[in-house]
Structure 1
Amino acid sequence: YFIKIDKWYPSSQLCSCCGSRKKLTLQERIYKCKCGLTMDRDLNAAINIKNEGLRLLEVA
């Protein structure tokens, strides 16, 4: 399946573990959340994009 998510979906600002939102500058390459999650910003965004696509697929 190809699922298109909103281009303004804040994938790099959301914690892929707990869902809390954190503003990041473009220079910040590591996502550190208050829940303890620490990972590469792009990996975190990729997980969030996958999860949003799966969520949209369930709704359809």
Structure 2
Amino acid sequence: MGKKNHEKSINSLQKRIIEHQQKIDIELQKDYPDLGLIHHWQKEILAFELGIEKAKKRLRR
């Protein structure tokens, strides 16, 4: 992958993190939030952050 592809990947993952954080915020405002769903989104955010770190390492090469 080229530099542009890594940058595009990073931007995409950052957007996904924001989307998932917004979903978590909305879910937490409910009377009975689905904690399992929130946990799932949090795990995905961690995976996205890991993907960003890997892409940043590739950019430094």
Please report the TM-score for the alignment, with normalisation by the length of structure 2: 0.44
The structure with more radius of gyration: 2
Structure with more of its chain in strand, by fraction: 1
